[in-house]
Structure 1
Amino acid sequence: MNDANINVAPRLTELAHGGGCGCKLAPSVLQKLLSRQPAAQPFSQLLVGTETADDAAVWQVDENLTVIATTDFFMPMVDNPRDFGRIAATNAISDIYAMGGRPIMALAILGMPISKLPPEVIAEVLEGGASVCAEAGIPVAGGHSIDSLEPIYGLAVIGLGHPKQLRRNSGAQPGDALILTKGIGVGIYSAAIKRQALPEGGYEEMLASTTLLNRIGSSLASDPAVHGITDVTGFGLLGHGLEMARGSSVTLTIEQDAVPLLAQAEALAQQGFVTGASHRNWDSYSSGVTLPEGCPDWRRLLLTDPQTSGGLLISCAAEAAPALVGRIREAGYPLARQIGTITAGQPCVVVR
């Protein structure tokens, strides 16, 4: 069963026009907005800003220390308030891990329709987020709240790292292998939840994936065979893969049959359970992606499916990939696998 039987009135998802990372602005819209912002590069200590659409900002304090900062928040993709808080917090902390850092504290971001939701429901959202922060070993040290038309929750997260262990989405090298640590299909599952049509066991599977911290990123960053990391969220596998390709000036080749999927993602996609964000994603970056001839729409929509609290996309030396996949699986990511390769060439993504 899905979580529609949770006694929440009204349902959280009924109060939101979108949910999870599917709420993100389309990549094309975001690019237009950012193009009008002043460049941040005159600050010599700013190692990572907006230049390659990376996961977090990084400020170098000295030769041994960087501060990593990020924020992420969205509207609910599930109706259970505690689960909403857990998913949103896991997703926000992921950006720190994707840079190779370790989180040290978080600030809560909360917007709620006070006249429509009882205080105990809102408190459960906060409790869910705090429980994930406790699992990550960090405090929720403050935050900010507003009365809003739709429910919104997330975190601003601060982390630390070593400059030599910083891993960017622009670090991929020709000859590398590509590894993905979690299964694809979260947006498709959330579409089924909104229509109360997610089959038995699907909710538990999705929750296990979206609340699994990407803490393996901090460990992988100390391995010299790992060259680049990004997390796969609202722009889908193809979108975040294209950001890596453009940032690194390389071609990513993805083997479509190697991409791990949540157990019911393919069947649900074929039945039409997709989000509007999948279509917006494709419209935004299709010029940078080559699909195989005859690729069915449902397959394309899986590859553009917005992932809330998705896995890490890792670029590593090819000879190290099998051992790294084994190490990642042993650390608690059972769907991790190699999904492609990186070659010199036009910055683009090729799906085979």
Structure 2
Amino acid sequence: MPRMTMIEAIRSAMDVSMERDDRVVVFGEDVGYFGGVFRCTQGLQQKYGRTRCFDAPISESGIVGAAIGMAAYGLKPCVEIQFADYMYPAYDQLTQEAARMRYRSNHQFTCPMVVRMPTGGGIFGGQTHSQSPEALFTHVCGLKVVVPSTPYDAKGLLIASIEDPDPVIFLEPKRLYNGPFDGHHDRPVTPWAGHPAADVPEGHFVVPLGEAATVREGSAVTIVTYGTMVHVAAAAAEETGIDAEIIDLRTLLPLDLEAITRSVRKTGRCMVLHEATLTSGFGGELAALVQEHCFYNLEGPVVRVAGWDTPYPHAQEWDYFPGPARVGQALKDMMEA
């Protein structure tokens, strides 16, 4: 089984999907000849031609709007918004058109499209290249929201998303693109090669949407997280020696509530961890669900650890992220409460 970076796994997912189904088209800013700003689409135009993989104008609303029309008439567009921060001009198209297509047409039309977006920080991209806007999509009925944490999951989840009959927001953590985030440090320090999660089948396979993964078994506390923070949580657990169970959501919508509640009922404690800003982040929804479904099993309050409530810093972005030290201290505080 070959080993891939997340970039290679995402590219492989699109390649497999385009080869299996000629209705799949890929487009966005610089994704054709250039292969995308992160090279996720490199080589696809050369292999499938300019009608299957092509460049679009710098117009996010135009890209998403065109994709909605294509999807309604039978194609399966997989489009790239160059950075998640750029999606705001297209938010109206996503929330008012794509998300409502099935319902407003009484199932006469569906919208089988995927919107890929690099998300989060870690490249010193500043305020307009580093945001984590997943909560804006999880609030919208009709959208599915996916955030992978490994190359294996990235490929399987993207293929499943392309094959899904409804619109999927596919958020790709930039910090994980080229290597496993070694959570003991602030930056990726080792290549994916040699990392078990980098073993990715070459052909077609899917990771079903709506199924979380238990990436670390434990009995003392449950950490519910996704994306880059999965690796931070694992590092914090190792450094503190606390027997934490880590649930990688993988899909935020639909949410695998059963996996969360099963773990929290076992451990009696719960931390919700994400990179996005704390206030109104998706962690608030997770904390509320845990309280509603596991109240009598909890030995203490649900704890949220997240990015600071501040405009995204540039030079201080590594202080903004929840790191192993901050997560580890929160774990210790939970165990002492």
| TM-score where L is the length of structure 2 | 0.32
Greater strand content: 1
Which one scores higher on RCO, CA 8 angstroms, separation ≥ 6? 1
| TM-score where L is the length of structure 1 | 0.31
